[in-house]
A and B are shown apart, each in its own frame.
Chain A
Amino acid sequence: MSEDLISRVTGVIAKTQKIPPETVTIDKSFEELKIDSLDGINILFALEGEFDVDIPDDAARGIRTVREMVEGIEKLLAAKAQAAESAQ
């Protein structure tokens, strides 16, 4: 989990939630950040745009913390890189 990735994900969360970026740290839960279900899908939408990935509903459903969100994006980016590699 790179610092750059963490910073991009937390940046998207902060921007979407309209909260200061320093409040969004890797160990925070969505509950602590007052992210409800509608905020959650709004964040997923913003992250899909930021990273040019599709986040499937089933993968997204169980995510409750910033760390899980970063790990999820990391997995999707790895799968995307692998797909691009095998396409070459």
Chain B
Amino acid sequence: MMQFNPGAVLAPAVDWLNANFHGFFAQVTLVIEALLGAIEAALMTLPPFAVIAIVVIAAFAAAGLRLAILAACCLGFCWLTELWQASMQTIALMLVAVIVAVAVAVPLGILAARRPAIEATLRPILDVMQTVPPWVYLIPAVMIFSLGRVPAIIATIVYGIPPMLRLTTLAFRGVPHDLRELGQAIGARPRTILWKIEFPAAKPTMLVGLNQCILLSLAMVVLAGLVGAGGLGAEVTRGLTRMEMGLGLRAGLAIVAVAILVDRLSRSALDRGRGPHKSA
């Protein structure tokens, strides 16, 4: 039977990349580690109860009592089960990935909404990206950045980009034409139109994209426990592979708490973003 082994061809190519672009990958690693380190430091230098208090007060101010109680319960659970550090690591990983993914996806999405040619090239790529199972994203990242947090972040960023990009394009395409014409009629500059007219009108749909981006990123960060990303995913992996079910379930429940918290927080932003439009 004929043999076909693309891996055997590609593996030396990966080695070559690693040998010749080591400097570049080291730079990327350095930047990501620095960003991650800063967010982790911010989350972990404060004692747990202080972080909980800040989040609860912010939730109360932003969305009222119910969300504040929910936040207190979720974070309190992470703290009580002695998974505070792991939870904060997971949240830091997720935050960094979401920030980078949004920074990449929003400009691209706006561009795609303006230029049909760009959208036509991006769409098949996004289709493939959203069909492929998340596990597959981790493999190229691990090949180049080896095990640890950096490949986890890279894979998470790539995984989080498609929903944000798609919904940004959708949002900007959905901005009513008369609003844009109004801007032009009163002689607003393109930049003013973008910031004062298009962004506010596109906000509700973009927030849906953000919510999806956050949840997918969390799922990926947890999965990345398999490649040594640390955090709650690593605890679940330990529970699964060593049959320490107590630890595994505790970490699993902590993930549930974190997931519910970030979902409700981003959704309350969504509801507020929608509020003025309903009344208008």
A binds B: no
